């Protein structure tokens, strides 16, 4: 049974991932930590707290870093809505996070239980990088870290070559990818290929009729509008849920490549690009397990089970 800490910048797809984790019978979520990304930190925290309450779970939510390590915060509110949850009028305020800082919780939990905790990162890697800077041995005590970030095919969603989570804080991403921590990268390319929900499929999922099914589809309203207008996708994709699903069930990763991944921290066109060193030209860099394709049917079955 995987024991998870989920680090999230809780936008609309993050919330679906949280529902899948909290509802899965074979997963335990020890903590949820929040970071600024899709939305500012206070909204990310409120959105996570709302989702936990909707699931009837008691998982603690801890607030973390409010901005990238070195750069100004750039949010994804133009994609996920001003509130990050589709702007559908949810009561996303008034809840209180657990006492303590996300970085402390990550360090303390993982070092106290070496080899047991899987980190699942659904936003910028700022909290994980800060934890590594404070406690480099964290890289050796984490069971694994599944990162929703990057793209193995060179296609970006915030620039021609970069995915948002890595682009938002590339310095943090470089620290994490260079740490030697056992990493699995599930990038935007996996979501774009194997986790797009078209309008008919969305209607079928919503027709499950549970409050969670209606919630998980309705909060994609702003995302659906943005993707239809700007990317040409026939529906909305679910990058965070597919990464979460791989963390729980590794067999969902149907095609993988073990290869060093370098993070571009420049200020130019390639900021935040995940560069795969397929030829192993730079042998000193740690190897990352890069997911290239996912088992869509297995993923959809996990999603449907959570919504029921």
| Residues annotated catalytic, as ranges | 9
Spatial separation of the C-alpha atoms in residues 32 and 188, rounded to whole Å: 22
**If DSSP codes are grouped into helix, strand and coil, which group holds residue 211?**
helix
SS3 (DSSP) at 212: helix
User: Phi, psi at residue 65, to the nearest 5°?
Assistant: -80, 140
Identify the three-state secondary structure at position 303. Answer: helix
Q: Cβ-count burial of 223 within 10 angstroms (0-12 exposed, 13-18 middle, 19+ buried)? A: buried
Is the CB of residue 121 less than 8 Å from the CB of residue 7? yes
Residue 170 pairs with which residues in a beta bridge?
Answer: none
**Three-class SS state of 231:** coil
The strand pairing partners of 196, in sequence order, are 237
Q: Which residues contact 195 (CB under 8 A, 6 or more apart)?
A: 237, 238, 239, 241, 242, 294, 296, 299
Dihedral pair phi/psi, residue 271, rounded to 5°: -50, 130
Strand order in the sheet with 3-8: 61-63, 28-34, 3-8, 117-121, 144-148, 183-186, 287-294, 253-263, 274-276
Label the pairing between strands 236-237 and 253-263. unpaired
């Amino acid at each position: 049974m995987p024991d998870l800490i989920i680090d999230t910048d809780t936008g609309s797809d993050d919330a679906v991932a949280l529902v899948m984790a909290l509802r899965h019978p074979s997963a335990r979520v020890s903590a949820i930590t929040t970071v600024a990304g899709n939305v500012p930190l206070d909204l990310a925290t409120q959105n996570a707290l709302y989702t936990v309450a909707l699931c009837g779970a008691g998982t603690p939510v801890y607030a973390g870093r409010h901005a990238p390590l070195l750069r100004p915060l750039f949010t994804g509110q133009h994609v996920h809505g001003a509130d990050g949850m589709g702007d559908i009028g949810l009561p996303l305020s008034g809840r209180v996070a657990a006492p303590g800082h996300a970085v402390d919780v990550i360090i303390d939990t993982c070092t106290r239980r070496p080899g047991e905790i899987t980190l699942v990162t659904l936003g910028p890697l700022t909290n994980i990088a800060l934890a590594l800077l404070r406690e480099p041995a964290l890289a050796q005590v984490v069971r694994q870290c599944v990162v929703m970030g990057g793209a193995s095919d060179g296609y970006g969603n915030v620039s021609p070559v970069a995915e948002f989570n890595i682009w938002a804080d590339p310095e943090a991403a470089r620290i994490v990818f260079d740490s030697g921590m056992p990493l699995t990268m599930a990038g935007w390319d996996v979501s774009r290929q194997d986790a797009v929900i078209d309008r008919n499929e969305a209607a079928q999922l919503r027709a499950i009729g549970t409050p969670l099914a209606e919630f998980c589809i309705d909060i994609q309203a702003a995302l659906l509008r943005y993707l239809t207008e700007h990317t040409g996708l026939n529906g909305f994709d679910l990058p965070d849920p597919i990464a979460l699903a791989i963390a729980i069930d590794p067999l969902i990763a149907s095609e993988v490549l073990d290869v060093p991944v370098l993070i571009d921290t420049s200020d130019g066109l390639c900021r935040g690009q995940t560069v795969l060193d397929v030829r192993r030209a730079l042998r000193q860099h740690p190897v990352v397990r890069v997911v290239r394709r996912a088992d869509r049917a297995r993923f959809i079955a996990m999603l449907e089970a959570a919504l029921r």
